[in-house]
Structure 1
Amino acid sequence: MNILENYYKKVIRYDLINKFSYSRLEDIPKLKKIILNFGCKSDDIKIIAASFFSLELITAKRGSLSTAKRANILLKIRKGYPVGCVVVLQKTEMYTFFLKLLSEVLPNLKDFKGLVPSKNLGKTSFSFTLKDLINFKVLEKQFYLFTNLPPLNITFITNSKTKKELLYLLNSFKLPIL
């Protein structure tokens, strides 16, 4: 069992029960999955291959390519062309990545004060973007391969009912949200 998973089961669940009132145990908010996404604005195969490989190195899980649903003349992309890659992390892999994000990546970012929740913050999801990906130790070793990566979108999916529950859950995990 991962440290964060154990921390959730032993501490955070009881804090949530004391803070909010729940009639059933299934109503207690929990982290369901983390989605990592690279969206490339071009069909350049070098950028897509580098982002696909870096996503695989970061998460230690095979990703999937996302294709264009319709053509875009301005970006010179045809329907069906690969335009990004996605990895969905659940259970142990999710907590392992989350621990790596909290302990290695976020503390090493330059001029980082915290994550700002967007105005269109959902009840069940929280998203943010990382632009400087060299802070991942795995990518740092071969930085010459990953110099022109697009920004990485990270989305946390929970089963919370309100925005207050969502922010309280993520703050309980010590995610630096302003």
Structure 2
Amino acid sequence: MANATAAVAGKNQPRLKQKYRDEITKTLTEEFGYANPMQVPGLVKIVVNTGVGEAARDSKVIDGAVKDLTLITGQKPQVTKARKSIAQFKLREGMPIGAHVTLRGDRAWEFLDRLLTLALPRIRDFRGLSPKQFDGNGNYTFGVQEQSIFHEINQDQIDRVRGFDITVVTTAKTDDEGRALLRALGFPFKAE
């Protein structure tokens, strides 16, 4: 047991995860009165998703979306294929129509840190995130209109502007717990 603890202590933890363990768990325990430390809401995963409707007409478009997601998240995305054919959209079953990445563990913490400290402040006329976009179970989803807010994307090599949906999945039972967790992590919510 001591060897396992030493191995974990020697490993470099993401900055936000360290802050969560040291400060945020105590704050949330006091705020909501949890009896057990396992009741404190935590981060499960982050899903970054992009839909590419033009891929139905031009199959090369999906490659740009996959490349952008790979640069932003550091992980190869899964290509989303159409589940059924829709004639009006000239869409056939099995055609690529988007891509998504699921980040867990340290990668999720590092992505969240980069998102909050580097990417969101680069959005033009940014007034904060809406605090009403919770799903009822403490999970938060928001959209980003262009990929250029991420430092990993080279501005000169953007073929077209792409938006992303980012879903932060937590273990929170209610929206209030999820909101308190994300606010403590540094999410810039608008004043209600």
TM-score by shorter chain over 0.5: yes
Describe how 1:1-178 pairs up with structure 2 within 5 A: 1-42=13-54, 43=56, 44-118=58-132, 121-139=135-153, 141=154, 143-178=155-190
Deviation of 1:8 (Å): 0.1
Structure 2 CA distance, aligned partners of 1:147 and 1:131?
15
SS across alignment from 2:137: coil
Deviations 1:142-178 (A, max 9, x none): x343242431000000010111100000000111112
| Structure with bigger gyration radius | 2
Moved over 6 A (4+): none
In the alignment, structure 2 segments of 5+ residues that lack a partner are 1-12
Aligned length: 176
Identity of aligned residues (%): 28
Distance 1:119 1:108, change over 3 A: closer
Distance 1:40 1:117, change over 3 A: farther
Cα RMSD for the two superposed structures: 1.4
2:9 maps to what in 1? none
Structure 2 CA distance, aligned partners of 1:121 and 1:69?
24
Structure 2 CA distance, aligned partners of 1:70 and 1:117?
34
Structure 2 CA distance, aligned partners of 1:60 and 1:104?
16
TM-score, normalised to structure 2's length?
A: 0.87
- Higher RCO, Cα 8 Å, sep 6+: 1
TM-score, normalised to structure 1's length?
A: 0.93
Deviations 1:52-93 (A, max 9, x none): 010001111111111111112222111111110010001110
2:4 maps to what in 1? none
